[in-house]
Amino acid sequence: MEFRKISQDPGCGARLGKITTPHGEIETPIFMPVGTQGTVKSLTPEQVRALGAQIILGNTYHLYLRPGHKLVADLGGLHRFMNWPHPILTDSGGFQVFSLGALRTMAEEGVTFQSHIDGSRHLLTPESAIGIQEALGSDIMMCLDECISYPADRSAVEKALGRTARWAARCQAVRKNPDQALFGIVQGGVYPDLRRQGAEQIRAIDFDGYALGGLSVGEPKDLMIENLAAATPLLPGDKPRYLMGVGTPEDLVEGVYHGIDMFDCVMPTRSARNGLLFTNGEKVVIKNARYREDAAPIDSECDCYTCRNYSRAYLRHLYVAGEILAMVLNTIHNLRHYLRLMERIREAIREGRYAEFHNRFLKERPPPAPTDR
C-alpha cells in the first residue's frame, strides 16, 4: 500500500491524498460504506460502486462467525466472495467483541467471547485477528485494540492504552502478507493527554496507517473533537489517518479539518433502513404523513438515482407498505449524500478553501444530532 499526499489546505489540517492498494486507488479524504456481513446492506456491489464508493469496510467479527474466514478464503477471498473487486478494509473484530459486554472476558492473551448467534465460545487474540483478516484478504487490516466504552475512569483507560500498544506490537510481528496493509489504532478515551500518549506509543511502530478508535461511542461532541484534535497532529503526516466509526456529516467535516483521511459509519445505511434520509437541510423522516402527496424528490439538490426518479410520496408508500425496495432506494440516497459530501470536501481542499468550507458548512447546518455508530 502506498499513500501519496497531494495537497495540504493552507487554513487547517485538511489534506488531499491518494492511497494505492492491490485492488485500486482511493482518493482521500474518503468515506467507507460498511459491508458488515459481506454485503453493503440491500445494495449490489455495482450499485455501491455507482454511488462513488472507492473502498468498503468488512467486519471481521461477523465474517469470522458466519460464514467463517476459512470458507471465504477457500472461495477466493472476500473480494471475490462478495463480488467487490475494489479495495476493502477490515476491522479487527475488537469493537464488536467489546460491545458484547457480559459475553466477553479480557485477558492479556486476548478476549474470550460468546457468539451472538449460537453462544459458542471463541478466543480472539492479536495473532488470530490478523490471521482472520489475512484469510479474508482485505487490502487494509486493523490491529486488535482494547476499545474502552464511555464513560470510563482514567485508570481503566490507561490500562487499556498499555494493552493496546502491546497488542499492536504483536499484530505487527505476526503479519505475513506484504500485500495487505496494517493500521495501528490510538486509544485514550476522552483524556487528551492519554490520547497524545497513545499516539506516541503507536507511531513508534511502523504501520501503514494510523487510526483513532474509541471515539463517537457516546461522549459529548466537544470531547470527541478535543481528543481528535489532540492526537491527530502527532500521527505521521505521510501515512493515512482513519477516524473509526465516525460519524455524522458534521463529524466528517470536522474530522477532515483536523487532518483525518478516512471514515466509516453505519449511520447512512442504518438510517436509510429506518426511513431517516439525509439532506443539506433537515432530515426527512419519510414515513411522516406530510410526505403522503409530496411529488418532490428527497433532496432536489441530490444527483442520486433515487432523487432523479422517485417522489417522496412513492418512497413513503414503499416504506409504509414494508417494501424491500424502500431499503434499497433509501440506502442509495443516504450513501450518495455521504459520498457526495466527500467529493465536495476533496474539491474544497484541492482549491485551498477547506477552512472556509468547514466554517460555512457547520454554520448552515441544523444543530447536530447525537452521534450513532
- Which positions are annotated as active-site residues? 91, 264
- 212/204 Cα distance (integer angstroms): 15
Within 324-363, the residues that bind a copy of itself by CB under 8 A are 324-325, 327-329
Residues 6+ apart with CB under 8 A from 287: 275, 316, 319, 320
Q: Which is nearer to a copy of itself, 65 or 345 (CB)?
A: 65
Span interacting with a copy of itself, options 120-128, 152-160, 309-317, 352-360, rule CB under 8 A: 309-317
Q: Of 200, 103, 125, nearest to 161 (Cα)?
A: 200
Tell me the closest approach of the beta carbon of residue 307 to a copy of itself, in angstroms.
Answer: 12
Q: Which of 311, 352, 355, 365 binds a copy of itself (CB under 8 A)?
A: 311
Binding-residue pattern over the window 76 to 105 for a copy of itself, x denoting contact by CB under 8 A = -----xxx----------------------
Q: Of 18, 33, 12, 28, nearest to 345 (Cα)?
A: 28
* Whole-Å CA distances, 109 to 9, 313, 334: 43, 55, 40
- 348/344 Cα distance (integer angstroms): 6
Q: Which is nearer to a copy of itself, 8 or 274 (CB)?
A: 274
Q: Which is nearer to a copy of itself, 66 or 344 (CB)?
A: 66
Q: Tell me whether strands 56-58 and 30-32 are parallel, antiparallel or unpaired.
A: unpaired
Q: Does 66 engage in binding with a copy of itself (CB under 8 A)?
A: yes
Within 255-294, the residues that bind a copy of itself by CB under 8 A are 292-293
Span interacting with a copy of itself, options 7-15, 24-32, 65-73, 254-262, rule CB under 8 A: 65-73
Q: Does 313 engage in binding with a copy of itself (CB under 8 A)?
A: yes
Tell me the closest approach of the beta carbon of residue 160 to a copy of itself, in angstroms.
Answer: 31
Angle between the N-to-C axes of helices 354-364 and 249-257, in degrees from 0 to 180, rounded to the nearest 10: 150
Rounded to a whole number of angstroms, the distance between the first and last alpha carbons of the chain is: 27
Q: Provide the CA 87 distance to its chain's centre, in angstroms.
A: 14
Are the beta carbons of 370 and 27 closer than 8 angstroms?
no
Q: Which residues bind a copy of itself (CB under 8 A)?
A: 37-39, 41-44, 66-67, 71, 74-75, 81-83, 292-293, 295, 305, 309-311, 313-314, 316-318, 320-321, 323-325, 327-329
